[in-house]
Amino acid sequence: MVLRGQRQRREGETAMSGHTLGWREWFPGLENDHETLGSVLETLPAAPPSAIPWIVRLLENPTGWFCLHGAVDLAVHDRIHVLLGRGLLAQDEAFVIGFTMGSTRAVLCLEQLVFKFSVAYLYPDPYRIPWSILAAYDLGLEAGQRLGIKNVHCAITDDMLSCKLGMVRSVLGIDTARLREFYEREQAMLPSTAASQRLLSARCFRQSASGVRGGNHMTTN
**Inter-residue contact 193 to 62 (CB < 8 Å):** no
- CA 140, 146, 149, 151 dihedral sign is positive
Element (H, E) at 146: helix 135-146
- Alpha helix segments (H runs only) across 173-209: 176-189, 194-198
- The pair phi, psi for residue 70, each rounded to 5°, is 95, 10
- For residue range 162-217, what is the model confidence (pLDDT) as tens digits? 999 999 999 999 999 999 999 999 999 999 999 999 998 766 666 554 444 444 33
CA–CA dist 214, 203 (Å, integer): 7
At 66, the amino acid letter reads: F
Give the end-to-end CA distance of the chain in Å, rounded to a whole number: 34
Q: Say if residue 126 is preceded by a cis peptide, omega within 30 of 0.
A: yes
- For residue range 48-85, what is the model confidence (pLDDT) as tens digits? 556 678 888 888 877 777 788 887 888 899 999 999 99
Please state, as a whole number, how many other Cβ atoms lie within 10 Å of the Cβ of residue 156: 19
Max Cα distance, the chain (Å): 49
Domain ranges of the chain: 5-216
> pTM of the prediction?
0.84
CA–CA dist 150, 5 (Å, integer): 24
Give the residue from 85, 78, 89, 84 showing the smallest Cα distance to 195.
Answer: 89
pLDDT of residue 123: 94
